[in-house]
Structure 1
Amino acid sequence: MASKAKAQRFESEIEKYRGEANWTRTKELARQLSQKTPDLGDFVNLVIAESVLEEYAEEHPPTERNITKAKSSLADVEDQLANLSQRKSKIGQQAQLLLAKLNFCRGNYQTAYELLDKAGLDSVTYHSCANRLIHMYAESFAIRGMCLEKMAPPTTSKYKAAEREDKIISCFEKAGDLALIYLQERDRSQGGMNPGGSQGQLSPDETVCCLLEQAIQESPILYIKRGQLDKGIQRFRELLRAVESRFTQDIRLTLARQLAEVLMRGVCEKSYIPLDVRSPKPNGPKPKIYPGDRSFVPEDQNEEALLLLLIAEAVATREAVLERSEELSETRLHAFHNTTAVYDMLALALVKRAQFTSLADSFERAMRFSFEEFHIWHQFANSLICAGKYSRAVLVLRECTRLQPENPTVSLQAAKLCFEYLHQYDEGIQWSKHALDVGQDHPMLSRAYMSLGIGYSMKAHEVKLQGERQILHRNALAAFQKAHTADPYDYLALFHLSLQLAILRHIPEALNYVKLALKYRSDHIHSLHLLVLLLTAQKQLDEAMVLIHAALEEYPDNLSLLLTKSKLEEVMYGPEEALVTCKLMLKLWKDIHEIDSEEGSERRGTATDRNAFDRRSVAQMTINEFSERGSGSIRAESVAASRVERALSEVASSMNSSFQPRPGSQQSWMLQAQIWLHLAELYLSLDKVTEAEACVQETSTIFPLSHQVYFIKGRVYEHKQRNNDAKVCFENAVSINPGHTKSLQHLGMVLHYLNENKLAEKVLRDAVNNDPTSHKSWHSLGMVLEALSQPEAASDCHNTGMELEATSPIVPFTVIPRLMQ
C-alpha cells in the first residue's frame, strides 16, 4: 500500500510539473517512478518522450526555418511515440497528439492532420481534464488549423473552400479558448506569483509557446481577412474580456493594439457596433471573463480604440525590458517594436482629439525603457511641442540630436522653437548652424540656410546698436540668398528673401522675388500679404486693394489680412469704410473665440470637431501675425512686456476683486483687444471721441494694464489736447514695453507740445533706434530739432523721413511673421 501511495504521489507530482512545463523536473521524477513502479512503463515512456519533444520545441520553435533541423532530429522520440500511439487508452491518445506535433515540426502537415483526426479531437470532453491535457488539446487544435492552411485545397469549389475556411477558424477559436483556460488555470495553480522573473518579465519556463500564442491571435484576424469585420471585432473583444493572467500580458497587449488598429482604420461611425458587455452564450469550453456590470462601456469606435491603446500602453510600460544584457537583446528589441507600435497609434488617437498634454505624459512614461531609442524621444519632443511645452521640447530635441547627429531635421525643429516661441535667437542660430554642419548635400540644406537667415533677421530687430543691426541684416540676406541658390524652386526661401529685401527697402528686387515665390506656390498666404504691402510701398494702392480682395476670397477668416485691408481702406476711402471691415473682424473674432472655448469641453473626435480644430489652428496663426502690429516688429521687449502685463494683471486681480481675467484662451482675448484698439483709432480719426473712449473702456476690461491700452488712452488725451494726461499714459506704455515705437513717437510729440524739447529729442532718438525705417519717427525728430535750433540736423531727418516714406508700406513689413513653414 505504501509503494502504491508513493507511486500516486509521484504521478501527481509529474502531472503538476507537466502542467507547469517544467520538463527537467518532469524527466527526473519519471525516471525515479520507473525504478519504483515498473508497471507504469507506458506512462513513464510517454512523459520522457514528451519532455524531450517539448524541450526541443522550446529551443527550436515549429517554424518553416526549423523544418530541416527537425527532420534530422527526434528519431528515438518518434519511435517511442509511434509505439505508444497503438495503445487503446488515454496514453495512446496523448502519444498520437504528440506524434502529430512532431510531424508538424518536420513539415509533414498531411500526416499531422491525419493523426489528429485519428485521435478523435472533436469528440473529446474537457471537463475535469488535467491542465497539461488541456494544453495538449489547445496545441492540437492550433496544429490542425495550421495544417489545413498549409495543405493544398482538395477542390476548386467555392463552397468547399468556404467550408474549409470555416473549419480553420473553428480550430483556431477552440485552440484559443482552450489556451486561455490552460493559462488561467496555470496562473491560479501557481498563486499568481512570478518568482522566477525579474523586472516584470516571465522566466523561460513561464513563457507561452508560439503555437498557443498564434492560436489565441489567429481567429479574429482570419475573420477580418474574410471580410467578416463584425465577427473579427467580436472575437477580439471576447479574447480581451478573458480574465488576465501573467502569461497573457504580452498577448493582451498585441490583441489590444490589433483591435485598436482595426477600429481606427476599418470602422466608421455608422458601421460601429457597440460593445455588448453581457456574457457570451457558452459554445464549448470558454475561459473565465470579467463581469460586465459596473464596467465602462465606450460609446464609439474612437473611444474604444483609445481605451484599448491606453490599456496596451499600461501593459507595455509595466512589462518593459529594462535589462541591457546581451542575452536579452532580442527580447528587448521585440518588446520595444511592439511598444513603439502602441505609442505611434496612441499618438494618432490623441492628436485626433487634440489631447496633446495626455500624449506628452504617455511618452514621458515611455522614457524609462527608451534608452538610446531615437523614435520615442523624437515623438516625445513632438508631443511636447503640440502641448505648448517648448522649453522642454528643446531639451528633448537636444537628446535626439545626440542620438542622430547627422539628422538636420531635429536641429531645424529646435531652431524653429527658439525663433517662433522662445525668442532665444542666439540659441536658434546655433541650432541652424548645426544643421548646416551636417554637410552640403542633404535635402534640407535650403531650409537650414533659411533658418539661419530667420535667426539673423530676428536678432537684428532685438539689438540696440545700429552698426550691429546692419551686420545682422546683411548676414540674414546672404543666408536667404544661399537658401535660394540651394533650392531655386523653394517658394519659402524666395518669400523670406523677398521679405528681407523689403525690410531693407529694396522694393523692386523684393517684388521680383515674391512674385517668383507665388509662381511656385500661388496660395501662400504670407507671400500674398507681402505682395500687397510691397504694392502699397510703391503707392500702387488700387492694385494692392484688388490683390487683397483676391487673397481674402481664398482666406476669408484671416484677421491679419483684414486689418491690412482696413488700413488700406482708411487711406483710400476714409475711416467710415474701414469701420465696416472692423465690424466684420469683430464678428470673425466671436466665431474664433467660440471655437477656442470648445477646447475645454469634451471632444468626441467627430468630423465637426476636426473642422473646428482646423479652424482654431488658422485662428492661432492670425493671432501670431496680429501681435505687436502697433510697434511694427516683434522684439525681445515685446516678449518681456507680455510677461510684465501678466504679472501686473495678477497683482491687479489680487488687489481688486472687481477685475478677474476672462475665462478661456488669453490669446483669443488679446486678439479682441487689438481689434478694439484699432477701432478706437478709427473713431479718433473721425473725431468721435466718445466712441473711441468706449472702445478703450472695452479693452481695459480685458487687459487693464496693457501697454497698448495705455497707448490708446494717451491717444485719446492727445486728441483732446490734454497733453499732461497723454504724457503720463505714454510714459506708462513705454515703461511696460520700451520697444513700443508708436508710444515713443507720440510721447516725443507730446513732450514737444509741452516745450520739453530736449527730453522729446531723447525719446524720439530712441524711437528711431528702435525702428530706423519709420518715417514718422524721423519727421517728428526733425520737428523737435527745428525747435531746438538745429536746422541742418532737422533737414537731414526730414530728408531721411521723406526717402523712407516714399517706400513705406501701409503697415510695417515686420507684421508678416518669420515662419519656417
Structure 2
Amino acid sequence: MAAKTKTNRLQSEIEKCRVEGLWSKAHELIKQFSSKSTGLDYYVHFILGESILEAYSKENPVSDQGSSQTKNQLADAERHLKICIKENGKMHLEATLLQAKIHFYNCSYHSALTLYDNTNLETISVSNSSPRILHIVAEAYAIKGLCLEKLPTSTSSKYKAAEKEEKILSCFEMAGDLALLYLQEKEKTLQSWGSLASNDESDSNIGDILETAIQQSPIYYIKHGELDKGVKRFRDLLSAVESRYTQHLRLTLARQLAEVLLRGVCESNYIPPDPVAKNNNQARRTALSPKKYSSDRVFVPSNESEEALLLLLIAEAVATREAILNQSVEHKEGRLHTFHNATAVYDLLAITLVKRAQFHQLVDSFERAMKFSFEEYHIWHQFANSLICDKQYERGLQVLKECHRQRPKLVIPVLQAAKLCYEHLHKYDEGIEFAKMALEVGDEHPAASRAHVALGIGYSLRAMEMKLKGNRENLHNKALKAFQKAHILDPNDYLSLFHLALQMATLRQIEEAVKYTKLALKYYSDHIHSLHLLVLLLTAQKQYQDAIDLVNAALEEYPDNISLLFTKSKIEEVFYGSDVALNTCRNMMKLWKKLDEINFEESEKSSGHHHQKASLTTDRSQFDRKSQAFLQLNEFQDRDTGSIRAESLAVSHIEQTLSDLASSSIDEGGSQSFSGSRTLRLQGQIWMNLSELYLTLDKVEEAESCLREASSLFPLSHQVAYMIVQTFL
C-alpha cells in the first residue's frame, strides 16, 4: 500500500513537471518510478521519450535541413515512443503525435503527415483535457500546417492549390486557438495546485513551433491579399483573456498588428473593431476556443493610427515589464532578446507619435525605457530626439552628451548638440566645442564638410556678441575660413555655399556673396534661404527691380512665407512707396492670424494633456500646417537656418526675457509660455512695421494704435519705446 502511495505521488509530481515544462526533473523522477512499479512500462517509456524530445526542442530551433546529428539526438526519444505505441497503452495517441514531431524535426514531412492522418487529428476531442494534452494537440495542428506549407503542391490545379492553402490556414487557426486555451488552462491548473510558476523554466514561452503557427494565421491572410481578414484574426487573438503566460505572445501580436495598420491600412479602407460581432462570437464559444474578454463598454478606436497607438502602448507596457535588468553574463542572451523586442516597439511608437505631434507622450515612453537601456545607444539617441521635439532642449543636450560618450566616433550626436547650443540654448562657446569634436573624425569623413559649417556658424554667432571690433573681425574671419574649408571638402553642397555667401555678405563682400548664392541655387534651386539672401544682396546693389521680381517669384513657390513678405514690404516701400508696402504688411498680419490660430489650438491641446486625457490623434493636415508655421518662425529667428537679423543677439535675448516677465505678470491665466512664444514676437514685429509705414504716410493715429498693440505684447522693448518717442516728436 505504501509503495502504491509513493508511486501515485511520483506520478503526480511527474504530471506537474509536464505542465510546467520541467523536463530534466521529469526525466529524473521517471527513473525512480521505473524502479519501483510494474505494469506501467508504457508510461515510463512515454515520459522518457517525451522528456528527451521536449528538452531537445527547447534548446534547438526548427531547421529546414535535417541532419544526422538531429536524428542521432532524437533516436532515443523515438525508440521510447515506439515502445509505448507498440504496447498500445493509454498514451498511444499522445506518443504518435510526439513521434510525428520527431519526424518534423528530421524534415520527414510526408511521414509526419501520414502519422497525423492515421490518428485522425481533426477528430481528436480535447474537452476537459489536461494542459499538457492541449499543448500536444495544438502543436500537432501547427506542425501539420507547417508540413503542408513546406511540401510543394503536387498538381497545377488552382482548385487543389486553394484547397491546400485552406487546409494550412485551418491548421494554423486551430493551433492558435488551442495554444491560447492551453496557456489559460495552464495558469488555472497551476493556481489550483498552489504552485504558480515561481521559476524561470515554467515561465518559458510556448515554443517556436506554436508561436510561429499563431503568428502565421493572420499573416497568411495578409500575404494572400485578404488584409481585412488578417487584421480581424490579429484582433481575435489579442482579445483572448490574458494570463501570465500569454504576455510575451501578446507583445509580439500587438506589435505586428500595429505594424500592419501603420504600413498597410489607410483611413479610407480602415474597418474599426465591431464589439457586437465580438459578443456574438463569444456566445458561440466552443470547448476548443480560448476564453475572450467581453466587449461591453470597451473603447473602440476610430481610425488606424488610434488603434496602432493603443496596441503599441500595450506592447510597451509588456516590454517594460518583461525587460531583464540584470547585467550579469549569464543573463546576457535573455537581456538582449527582451531589449530587441522593446526596441522594435519603441521604434514603431516613435513613428506613430511623431506623425501626430505627441512628443510629450514619446518622451514619457523613452523615460520608462531608460531603466533597461544601459549603454544602448539607439534608445538614448531616440530619447534625445524626442526631448528636442518636445522643446526640452537642456535635457536633450545632456542626453546627446551621453550619446557621444557611448559612441565617440559618431558625428551626428555632436552636430546635433552644436545645433541645440546655437539655436535654442545660446551657448555659442559650447557649440563651437561640439563642432570641433565633430572635426576629429578627419576631412575624409562624409560629414566633415557639415562639421566645418557648424564650426563656422558658431564663430559667426559668437562674433555678433563681441563688443570689441578686433575680436569681432577675428571671429568673422575664422567663420569665413571654416565655410571655405567646408566648400572645398564638398564643392556641391548647397548649404556650405549658402553660409559662405552669407558670411561674405556680413563682411560686405557683396559681389562674392552674389556669386556663391547663385552657385548654391544652382545645386538647390528651391532653397528658400538662398533665394531670400539673393533678394537682399540685389537690394544692396540697388537692383530693386530684379529684387522685386525675384521675391515675387519666390512667393509664388512659398506664398505663406512671412519673412519673404517682410522683405517684399521693405523693397516696395523704397521702390513703389509706402501705400503698396502697407498692403503687403496687412497681408502679413492676416497670415500671422492664421498661423496663430493653429498654434493656439495646439497649445490648448498640449495644456490639456496634463489635466485630462488628451485625444490620441491630431488632424494630419493641421499638423502639417503647424510644422510649416514653426519652420517659418525658425527661419525668421535663427542664424544657422538662414535668417538675417540686424539687431544685436544679446540685446534681443535680454529684451525677450524682460518682456516675457512683464507679460506673465499681466496675464495670470496660465498663458505665460504662450505669451513669450515666437509667434507673438513675430506679431510684435509686424505691428512695428505697420507703425513705421503709417508714420511715413503721416497717419499718426493709426501708428499709435499699432504701437499700443506692440507695447501690450512687449512692454519693456527698447524698440517699441523708441518708436513711441518718434511718434510724439
Normalization by structure 2: what TM-score?
0.93
Partner of 1:116 in structure 2? Answer: 116
Query: Does structure 2 retain, via aligned residues, the 8 Å contact 1:423–1:636?
Result: no
CA deviation string 1:682-704 (max 9, x = no partner): 11111211111111122233333
Partner of 1:682 in structure 2? Answer: 693
CA deviation string 1:322-371 (max 9, x = no partner): 12222322222222222111111111100110011111121121111111
CA deviation string 1:114-172 (max 9, x = no partner): 11111221111111111111111011111111111112222121111111111111111
Partner of 1:732 in structure 2? Answer: none
Unaligned regions of 5+ residues in structure 1, if any?
Answer: 722-821
Distance 2:109 2:479 in 1: 71
| Segment drifting more, 68-77 vs 474-483 | 68-77
**Structure 1 SS opposite 2:492:** coil
Aligned 1:638-653 pairs, distance under 5 A: 638-653=652-667
Distance 2:177 2:675 in 1: 52
Is residue 615 of structure 2 the alignment partner of residue 608 of structure 1? no
Is residue 513 of structure 2 the alignment partner of residue 510 of structure 1? yes
- What is the aligned length? 711
Partner of 2:572 in structure 1? Answer: 569
Structure 1 residue 629: Cα displacement: 9.5
CA deviation string 1:629-661 (max 9, x = no partner): 99714512322321222223333446xx9x986
**Structure 1 SS opposite 2:46:** helix
Partner of 1:387 in structure 2? Answer: 390
1:620 to 633, 638, 644: 633
Structure 1 residue 5: Cα displacement: 5.4
Structure 1 residues 556 and 631 mapped into 2: Cα distance closer, same or farther (>3 Å)? closer
Structure 1 residues 477 and 224 mapped into 2: Cα distance closer, same or farther (>3 Å)? same
2:720 to 704, 709, 718: 709
Distance 1:425 1:283 in 2: 70
Structure 1 residues 478 and 50 mapped into 2: Cα distance closer, same or farther (>3 Å)? same
Structure 1 residue 585: Cα displacement: 0.6
Is residue 327 of structure 2 the alignment partner of residue 324 of structure 1? yes
CA deviation string 1:545-564 (max 9, x = no partner): 11111111111111111111
Partner of 2:356 in structure 1? Answer: 353
Query: Does structure 1 retain, via aligned residues, the 8 Å contact 2:660–2:675?
Result: no
CA deviation string 1:77-133 (max 9, x = no partner): 222212322355541111101111111111111111111111221111111111111
Query: Does structure 1 retain, via aligned residues, the 8 Å contact 2:502–2:513?
Result: yes
Distance 2:205 2:617 in 1: 39
Partner of 2:598 in structure 1? Answer: 595
Structure 1 residue 628: Cα displacement: 14
- Counterpart code for 1:265: R
| Segment drifting more, 16-25 vs 458-467 | 16-25
1:271 to 269, 272, 278: 269
Partner of 1:756 in structure 2? Answer: none
Structure 1 residue 456: Cα displacement: 0.5
Query: Does structure 2 retain, via aligned residues, the 8 Å contact 1:463–1:469?
Result: yes
Query: Does structure 1 retain, via aligned residues, the 8 Å contact 2:96–2:115?
Result: yes
| Segment drifting more, 19-28 vs 168-177 | 19-28
Partner of 1:766 in structure 2? Answer: none
Partner of 2:487 in structure 1? Answer: 484
Structure 1 residues 66 and 647 mapped into 2: Cα distance closer, same or farther (>3 Å)? farther
Query: Does structure 1 retain, via aligned residues, the 8 Å contact 2:301–2:307?
Result: yes
Structure 1 residue 405: Cα displacement: 1.3
Partner of 2:153 in structure 1? Answer: 153
Partner of 2:417 in structure 1? Answer: 414
Partner of 1:671 in structure 2? Answer: 682
- Counterpart code for 1:564: T
Q: Which has the higher contact order (CA 8 A, sep 6+)?
A: 1
Aligned 1:256-405 pairs, distance under 5 A: 256-277=254-275, 278-279=278-279, 280=281, 281-282=284-285, 285-405=288-408
Query: Does structure 2 retain, via aligned residues, the 8 Å contact 1:498–1:514?
Result: yes
Aligned 1:172-183 pairs, distance under 5 A: 172-183=172-183
Larger radius of gyration: 1
1:219 to 196, 217, 220: 217
CA deviation string 1:660-698 (max 9, x = no partner): 869677322222221111101111111211111111122
Distance 2:272 2:452 in 1: 53
Query: Does structure 2 retain, via aligned residues, the 8 Å contact 1:260–1:304?
Result: yes
Structure 1 residues 664 and 642 mapped into 2: Cα distance closer, same or farther (>3 Å)? closer
Distance 1:617 1:663 in 2: 14
Query: Does structure 1 retain, via aligned residues, the 8 Å contact 2:453–2:483?
Result: yes
Partner of 1:522 in structure 2? Answer: 525
Distance 1:274 1:18 in 2: 41
CA deviation string 1:582-618 (max 9, x = no partner): 1111111111112222313447344433433343334
- Counterpart code for 1:697: R
**Structure 2 SS opposite 1:190:** helix
Query: Does structure 1 retain, via aligned residues, the 8 Å contact 2:529–2:643?
Result: no
- Counterpart code for 2:423: E
Structure 1 residues 138 and 163 mapped into 2: Cα distance closer, same or farther (>3 Å)? same
Aligned 1:708-727 pairs, distance under 5 A: 708-717=719-728, 721=729
- Counterpart code for 1:650: S
**Structure 1 SS opposite 2:487:** helix
- Counterpart code for 1:531: L
Distance 2:680 2:179 in 1: 60
Partner of 1:759 in structure 2? Answer: none
Distance 1:340 1:164 in 2: 37
Distance 1:695 1:337 in 2: 58
Structure 1 residue 240: Cα displacement: 0.9
Partner of 1:246 in structure 2? Answer: 244
- Counterpart code for 1:615: Q
Structure 1 residues 342 and 68 mapped into 2: Cα distance closer, same or farther (>3 Å)? farther
**Structure 2 SS opposite 1:39:** coil
Aligned 1:16-31 pairs, distance under 5 A: 16-31=16-31
